Amino acid sequence: MTHGGVLALTHVAAETQQVAFWLLAVISVSAALGMILVRKAVYCAVLLAVVMLCLAVLYAILGAPFLAFVQVIVYTGAVLMLFLFVLMIVGIRAKDSIVETLKGQRVAAGLAGIGLLVLLSLTIGHAVIGPAPAQTAAFGAANVNSIARLIFTTYVFPFEVTSALLITAALGAMVLAHRERLEPKLTQRDLSRLRTASGQPAPLPGPGTYARHNAVDMPALLPDGSPAENSVSPFVSHRIAPPGTEVGGRALADEQRTLLGSGSQEGEPE
């Protein structure tokens, strides 16, 4: 390959990197903004994953292929999965409340953010940041070897301390997440005794089946026409009709009217 060809190739590579940088910058900043604007915690986790994957590509552009892989494996793979696991336990439906506990806190936080942004931009704007020097082998093919040499020579003590930190963290998590069993575990005999004593030895009644509605979310009707509340799983009724609304009840009333036909029309209050 001629000298000119190499130069042209480098030029094309630089332009590709520039396009990739601006693309990833826009994606990651908008994902980060979405993270603080979206109300559901799960969406936040997914948007954070987007930011982290963008950062991994940026690391690769900056000549850190090792860190790019560590970012994908450790952050996106392990840390975010841990976040999602805990979200599943803590409650996937949990939303942030809009109520401000401290008055004007959001405005103050926004102003503080703008102030921080101005401060940092001024500081960085005053610093002289020249163009990147020519890429050496340590930022390319020999990146992993060079980092390994640094970690196991210059930074070997911090590296060893890191292992102590990780073991302590694992132990701490085990201690914090462990729950002591305070009462003995119930055997099958205990459970059957409890069931007999509870007054409901048989299974709960099944939901009603109607012409126009799905069976599982509509309560069955008792002989006197009133709905049997315990025939619908509380989780289903919570999802279908959140507390405060009477959607389920009204739909059931409609259904009843249809079922009873013209006989009830005279006694209709409306």
Q: What does the block give as tokens for 236?
A: 């289903």
Burial bucket for residue 183 (CB in 10 Å: 0-12, 13-18, 19+): exposed
Q: Is residue 83 near other proteins by the rule CB under 8 A?
A: yes
Identify the residue among 1, 89, 182, 202 touching other proteins (CB under 8 A).
89
How is 125-158 classified by DSSP, letter by letter? HHS---PPPPP-GGGTTTHHHHHHHHHHTTTHHH
Question: Six-digit token pair at 182?
Answer: 């305070």
CB of 84 to other proteins, least distance (A): 10
Q: Does the protein bind other proteins through residue 252 (CB under 8 A)?
A: no
Task: List the structure tokens of 70.
Answer: 């560590």
Of 176 and 202, the one with the shorter C-beta distance to other proteins is 176
User: Applying CB under 8 A, which of residues 117, 186, 253, 259 lies at the interface with other proteins?
Assistant: 117
Q: 8 or 78, CB closer to other proteins?
A: 78
Alpha-carbon span 35 to 168, nearest angstrom: 31
Binding mask 201-240 for other proteins (x = CB under 8 A): ----------------------------------------
- Indicate which single residue of 27, 50, 66, 236 sits in contact with other proteins (rule: CB under 8 A): 66
Binding mask 125-164 vs other proteins (x if CB under 8 A, - otherwise)? Answer: ----xxxxx--x-xx---x--xx--xx--xx--x---x--
The residue assigned the tokens 């020249």 is 130
Q: Per rule CB under 8 A, is residue 88 in the interface with other proteins? A: no
Closer residue to other proteins, CB minimum distance, 42 or 221: 42
Q: What phi-psi label fits residue 40: left (phi over 0), alpha (psi between -120 and 50 degrees) or beta? A: beta
3-state secondary structure of 40: strand
| Residue whose CB is less far from other proteins, 176 or 197 | 176
Give me the least distance between CB of 175 and other proteins, in Å please.
Answer: 8
Distances, alpha carbon 7 to alpha carbons 4, 169, 189, in Å: 5, 50, 82
